[in-house]
Amino acid sequence: MVDATPESSGRRGRSARREARENRKVRWLPELTRGIPYLDIVSPEELDRIHDASCRILEEVGIEFRDDESIAIWKTAGADIDGYRVRIDRGQLMELISTAPETYTMHSRTDGHDITIGGRKTAFVPAYGAPFVLDMENKRRHATLDDFDNFAKIAQMEPAMHMAGGVLCEPMDIPVPHRHLEMTKSLLQYSDKPLMGSVTSRERAEQSLHMMGIVHGHDYVRDNTVSTSLANANSPLVWDQTMLDAVKVYAASNQAMLFSPFVLGGASTPASTIGAVAQLSAEALAGVAFMQLIRPGSPSVYGQWTATVAMNSGAPLAGTPEIDHINMLMGQLARRYKLPWRCSGGCSSSKLVDAQAGYESARNMYGVLMAGANFVLSTTGYLESALCQSYAKAMLDGEQMRMMIRLGSGVDMSELDPAMGAVREIEPGDHYLGTDHTLANFESAFFMPELMDGDSYEQWNVSGRIDANARGITMAKKVLAEYEEPKLPEETLAELNEFVARTRAETSEMVR
Amino acid sequence: MVDATPESSGRRGRSARREARENRKVRWLPELTRGIPYLDIVSPEELDRIHDASCRILEEVGIEFRDDESIAIWKTAGADIDGYRVRIDRGQLMELISTAPETYTMHSRTDGHDITIGGRKTAFVPAYGAPFVLDMENKRRHATLDDFDNFAKIAQMEPAMHMAGGVLCEPMDIPVPHRHLEMTKSLLQYSDKPLMGSVTSRERAEQSLHMMGIVHGHDYVRDNTVSTSLANANSPLVWDQTMLDAVKVYAASNQAMLFSPFVLGGASTPASTIGAVAQLSAEALAGVAFMQLIRPGSPSVYGQWTATVAMNSGAPLAGTPEIDHINMLMGQLARRYKLPWRCSGGCSSSKLVDAQAGYESARNMYGVLMAGANFVLSTTGYLESALCQSYAKAMLDGEQMRMMIRLGSGVDMSELDPAMGAVREIEPGDHYLGTDHTLANFESAFFMPELMDGDSYEQWNVSGRIDANARGITMAKKVLAEYEEPKLPEETLAELNEFVARTRAETSEMVR
């Protein structure tokens, strides 16, 4: 494996360029260190108004924590409690979120592959939760554990993926009570990248954490972050017991959590971009604040996932301008709060890997990059508004993320003087192909995608008229054939297998 | 026709929203008035370094104007002349470009449809120059005059297209010496939007201008801008006689020109983003300065079109991160120079309307919007790095431009208070679909694309599994069937026809 070191701010762009030159060899790219500005779309005063609206929601309307234990925790903290309704004043809210770290580091089991979430960093994470796959025969069917393993291997092999992922797809051939065990084992075995743990019950979160402990050491995972898991709010304005239980488990061990309402804009938010943001931000802030009550200083990520709804049909949409606006506003708020921020990247509502999938994913992801997200979930393979995971698209999107890293790294001013030498070397009307400067730089100067076909029509025609979807499938097969397992010590793998087998047996009565 | 008025800065977003609500009825959208910031990727000091490099190119290397008349003009102006090589010092350069207007207005033959180029405005213009079309039977073939007429009608019908365009495709069934006549007539007859004139010889420019005069009045077009035509530099560092002759004709009549090198980054520029920009900017500035010598104050647009080259294959690429960087730098320079700025939008190197076409076009266009281009050529239908024009993609891209207008308009803070009312109206866990606020806003809150399918898999499956390309073709047929001609007075059309017939007859000896 060839590792590329994170670039220093003084040499932005340069190491990204070196990495790209080694494109075909590099197996791991560090998270993006931003070398371009953020696109802040409102003034600080306008941002204050949105902040104020979120505070008023939490102070006046309140938010429900539908869990007795959580209510007790809020009561002890001095919040205003009415049944499950918690009203939090802005002083307490700001004090609580101030203990959440601005950045945190997730540890990999491979030295040098730790990644930082927050600040000027952006990390890319695979998609989450699809029950269907669009497979390598271009057939849509229920996902299986085999598919899950494959997507874990693909994430491991994609240099621009910074985590193994979480629910890479739903292995529908495994009973629900056993799924988290098989998924967590797959992620830990097939990837050395940080992972996402189960959040669907307290026990499952504990079991995920135990399995991380088998790999990293049980003592180690009590304080050191090796995972970031996903807590979705039940919008509007509800955190339910399942998620809160998972938060308690992970927070106690300093494992990071995402507090990100998963919403259909217009259905579970007001039919307004600004209104949606005021609500989403209130929900996310309340989640972060709750985690800080459990363990002050534990890594808590602010954020959201939003599809807008085509309000004539109820269909969830991706790549619409209001999603960009919401992302840009949430990013600006996150920086105001000095919190790491999560959203979603390569989203599409298309049913196949067609032009729609390209337009929507590219638009959505570009907006996310401009907005400056730190933790970008759903970057690869995402179709059908999260219901389907495509092998072909996973490959196409992975390459797009490599380009996003390059774009976000910014430009390298140190190129100017050598390039001016080349300008002086040739005559007007001549070309640069033979200059020393070109020979020295041609491999690194411009990104060369492997899956975007730049050939002439004639070349493309004689090469079999292959479209992007077919190229993606071919590449998925190639990557899976070339997959190299970052092998766990034999006894570790045995212990994982033993734990999974034992726990499956113990919970077999839950399986109908 | 429903017209929407340009929005004032105090109500950014709101009129864009109202327009979108009337999406299906609106036939004309004003040019975008930017309500979001620019993405400036270098510091003012770094920008000065690039400016200095461009000035040094023009002062020390010089640039060739391969035309005796132009050389005489530069000599009279006091530039340093050596054969065709012109060396221009930065003092003179800056003085010349300072007379070019920061914004200019192009007049439409329909009242209220004038458009402004420059400042915080962005106008979208169809693609230019493809010899091939991907037709409505999904067949790639040589373009014809029928295709040209169709694309003129499509541009007329697309609300987000601000010009009729120029060489919408190359009508290969018309002999070259007659093409500009037929194209100009088509644009003037089938569209009331401003157009691009011929630049392929002095005579053809004069004939284009004469035809504009038939429609707008010959006196009128001597001073009032009704067109913007395209002068491509012959990079590196050459302006040739053909383009310069066209510049002389249009400049004398105050018709706008684009001065935009059309380059393959790495072949006709140094293999460096920053180096390419230094050269491109020098070329564009020299062109603008030349036009100011012809007629001070005439509208001269700075800019460029760039594909990067896959230097392992020589293939031109679109949607790469370096194109974004080049666009962002050129935009930042244009604002420094207070010049309107042109680049290209929905570009793709794909051979068909597949995921690649979507990824590349969306990426490229998003970067252009972030960079703040004023005049965006090649926004619709563009495939094969400009060699092929697709009916389906023209429709898909048109819708994307409507979304770009919405995105670029920014957000509307006046939504906040009414939306907060809705938040207070419902209970946590409830939904918003029945609130008064939703009922009042559901049509306008979120953009509803017609060509992006948000349906469930099941709905999509029973509806015939239509992909984006097929939806685009269906929409092209629909729009052409619904096309309404903005009729010219009968005698004007007769005069145009008579001029074309007479000039074709006079030049028939040129046709082999």
pLDDT tens figures, B145-184: 999 999 999 999 999 999 999 999 999 999 999 999 999 9
Three-state secondary structure call for residue B142: strand
- Which of A238, A389, A420 should we substitute to test contact with B (largest number of B Cβ atoms within 10 Å)? A420
What average pLDDT does range B45-50 have in this prediction? Answer: 98
* Cβ burial, residue B445 (10 Å; 0-12/13-18/19+): buried
- Which of A234, A359, A361, A426 should we substitute to test contact with B (largest number of B Cβ atoms within 10 Å)? A359
A403–B370: do the CB atoms touch at under 8 Å? no
- Could you list the pLDDT tens digit for every one of the 512 residues in chain A? 333 333 333 333 444 444 444 444 567 899 999 999 999 999 999 999 999 999 999 999 999 999 999 999 999 999 999 999 999 999 999 999 999 999 999 999 988 899 999 999 999 999 999 999 999 999 999 999 999 999 999 999 999 999 999 999 999 999 999 999 999 999 999 999 999 999 999 999 999 999 999 999 999 999 999 999 999 999 999 999 999 999 999 999 999 999 999 888 889 999 999 999 999 999 999 999 999 999 999 999 999 999 988 877 888 999 999 999 999 999 999 999 999 999 999 999 999 999 999 999 999 999 999 999 999 999 999 999 999 999 999 999 999 999 999 999 999 999 999 999 999 999 999 999 889 999 999 888 999 999 999 999 999 999 999 999 999 999 999 999 999 999 999 999 999 999 999 999 998 877 75
Let me know the angle formed at the C-alpha of B337 by B335 and B341, rounded to the nearest 5 degrees: 55
Whether the per-residue pLDDT at B27 is higher than 60: the answer is yes
B271–A465: do the CB atoms touch at under 8 Å? no
* DSSP state letter for B219: T
pLDDT of residue A19: 45
Contact B255, B225 (CB under 8 A): yes
Q: What is d(CA B347, CA B368) in angstroms, rounded to the nearest whole number?
A: 11
* Cβ burial, residue B175 (10 Å; 0-12/13-18/19+): middle
Residue A342: closest CA among A262, A253, A248: A262
* Cβ burial, residue A189 (10 Å; 0-12/13-18/19+): buried
A355–B354: do the CB atoms touch at under 8 Å? yes
pLDDT tens figures, B284-296: 999 999 999 999 9
Residue B117: closest CA among B280, B296, B299: B299
Q: ipTM of this model?
A: 0.94
pLDDT of residue B18: 46
Local confidence band at B502 (pLDDT 50, 70, 90 cut-offs):
very high
Which helix (DSSP H) or strand (DSSP E) does residue A259 occupy?
Answer: strand A256-259
What average pLDDT does range B195-200 have in this prediction? Answer: 98
pLDDT of residue B313: 80
B319 against B254, higher pLDDT: B254
* DSSP state letter for B134: E
Whether the per-residue pLDDT at B510 is higher than 90: the answer is no
Residue in A closest to B400 by C-alpha? A359
Whether the per-residue pLDDT at B7 is higher than 80: the answer is no
pLDDT tens figures, B350-369: 999 999 999 999 999 999 99
User: Shortest CB distance from B322 goes to which of A61, A446, A469?
Assistant: A446
Let me know the angle formed at the C-alpha of A123 by A117 and A128, rounded to the nearest 5 degrees: 105
Contact A201, A232 (CB under 8 A): no
Three-state secondary structure call for residue A65: strand
For chains A and B, what is the number of CB pairs under 8 angstroms? 441
Strand A103-106 to A115-118 pairing: antiparallel
Q: Quote the minimal CA–CA distance from A450 to chain B in Å.
A: 10
Helix H segments across A200-240?
A: 202-216, 220-223
- Which of B283, B328, B359, B360 should we substitute to test contact with A (largest number of A Cβ atoms within 10 Å)? B359
Judged by average pLDDT, the poorest of A201-210, A481-490, B4-13, B413-422 is: B4-13
User: Shortest CB distance from A272 goes to which of B62, B64, B419?
Assistant: B419
Q: Give A355's contacts in chain B (Cβ within 8 Å).
A: 353-355, 357-358, 393, 396, 467-469, 472
Dihedral (C-alpha) A70, A73, A75, A78: value to the nearest 10 degrees?
-130
Structure tokens at A367: 């907006």
Q: What is d(CA A363, CA B241) in angstroms, rounded to the nearest whole number?
A: 41
A448–B317: do the CB atoms touch at under 8 Å? yes
Dihedral (C-alpha) A93, A94, A96, A98: value to the nearest 10 degrees?
160
**At B139, which amino acid appears?**
K
Q: Which of B4-13, B192-201, B257-266 has the highest mean pLDDT?
A: B192-201
B261 against B376, higher pLDDT: B376
Q: Give B426's contacts in chain A (Cβ within 8 Å).
A: 236
pLDDT of residue A512: 57
Q: Quote the minimal CA–CA distance from A494 to chain B in Å.
A: 41
B262 against A178, higher pLDDT: A178
Q: Give B40's contacts in chain A (Cβ within 8 Å).
A: 37
Contact B194, B171 (CB under 8 A): no
Contact B366, A400 (CB under 8 A): no
Average pLDDT score over chain B: 93
Q: How far is the CA of A109 from the CAs of A162, A488, B124, in angstroms? A: 13, 9, 50
pLDDT of residue A66: 98
What average pLDDT does range B321-329 have in this prediction? Answer: 97
Residue B357: closest CA among A360, A135, A425: A360
Q: Print burial letters for B74-93: b (CB count within 10 Å at least 16), e (below 16).
A: beebebebeebbbbbeeebb
